[in-house]
């Protein structure tokens, strides 16, 4: 399942969670059909906004359940148990469902209908959030309304509770070589901030 089912004291978030999990808005445009994958909680302090589920995530219903997720957990310095502790970490991608493939290869962009519909309903009720990770160009551009190259945006680090990061795909290895400041400066600061935030939750 894309959502961990447990009692939620916040009725607004509970309703949004149920309706998002049942969403079929883009059903006719999704090659594998709708399967919204996200995790929300009224007690979460850290929110991760990525792009959209890949095929493995679509199959399992578990967000970041792939090689990119392994790399992301390494960046953050946390294990799978903590990563999937929904009481501390929420995961709401830019697109909740697998969007398909591009003709030239690679996953298609998140469906444009998704974030405007569900982010305003799923995110504001999580009132304990203290930090949001914007993971990848789609999340960065959607949330920050940014254009152009993302490297300068990432190099600036966090601002107003938002921390932009590259997508942790295998392609990022080459990007990190061209931008050595990311592993040297950004990742140690990120691990320290995430560790402090989650230990206080």
What digits encode the pLDDT tens for the residues 99-146?
A: 999 988 788 999 999 999 999 999 999 999 999 999 999 999 999 998
**In the prediction, which pLDDT does 133 show?**
98
Give the position of tokens 């107003």.
Answer: 160
Summarize pLDDT for 144-165 with one digit per residue, the tens. 998 889 999 999 999 999 999 9
> 53 near 97, Cβ under 8 Å?
yes
**In the prediction, which pLDDT does 201 show?**
56
**In the prediction, which pLDDT does 104 show?**
84
**In the prediction, which pLDDT does 106 show?**
83
CA distances (Å), origin 97, targets 53, 68, 162 = 6, 17, 23
Give the position of tokens 């601002």.
Answer: 159
**In the prediction, which pLDDT does 9 show?**
56
Q: Identify which has the larger pLDDT, 2 or 139.
A: 139
| Rounded-to-integer distance, Cα 49 and Cα 132, Å | 7
Name the nearest CA neighbour of 139 among 67, 126, 123.
123
Q: What are the residues facing 101 on neighbouring strands? A: 107
* β-strands 131-135, 89-91 pairing: unpaired
| Rounded-to-integer distance, Cα 117 and Cα 112, Å | 9
**In the prediction, which pLDDT does 171 show?**
87
**In the prediction, which pLDDT does 151 show?**
96
Strand, helix or coil for residue 27 = helix
Summarize pLDDT for 50-107 with one digit per residue, the tens. 999 999 999 999 999 999 999 999 999 999 999 999 999 999 999 999 999 998 878 8
Summarize pLDDT for 26-58 with one digit per residue, the tens. 999 999 999 999 999 999 999 999 999 999 999
**In the prediction, which pLDDT does 10 show?**
84
Burial (Cβ within 10 Å: 0-12, 13-18, ≥19) of residue 154: buried
How many percent of the chain have pLDDT more than 90?
89
Q: Which residues of 68-83 are buried (b: 16+ CB within 10 A; e: fewer)?
A: bbebbbebbebeeeeb
């Amino acid at each position: 399942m894309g959502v961990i089912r447990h009692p939620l004291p916040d009725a607004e978030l509970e309703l949004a969670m149920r309706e998002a999990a049942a969403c079929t808005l883009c059903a006719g445009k999704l090659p594998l059909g709708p399967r919204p994958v996200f995790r929300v909680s009224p007690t979460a302090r850290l929110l991760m906004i990525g792009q959209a589920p890949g095929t493995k995530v679509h199959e399992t219903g578990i967000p970041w359940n792939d090689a990119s997720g392994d790399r992301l957990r390494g960046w953050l310095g946390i294990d799978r148990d903590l990563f999937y502790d929904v009481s501390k970490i929420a995961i709401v991608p830019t697109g909740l469902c697998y969007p398909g493939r591009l003709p030239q290869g690679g996953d298609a962009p998140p469906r444009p209908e998704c974030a405007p519909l569900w982010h305003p309903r799923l995110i504001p009720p999580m009132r304990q959030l203290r930090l949001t990770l914007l993971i990848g160009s789609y999340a960065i551009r959607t949330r920050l309304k940014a254009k152009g190259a993302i490297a300068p945006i990432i190099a600036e680090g966090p601002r107003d509770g938002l921390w932009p990061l590259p997508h942790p795909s295998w392609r990022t290895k080459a990007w990190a070589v061209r931008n050595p400041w990311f592993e040297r400066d950004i990742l140690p600061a990120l691990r320290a901030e995430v560790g402090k935030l989650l230990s206080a939750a």
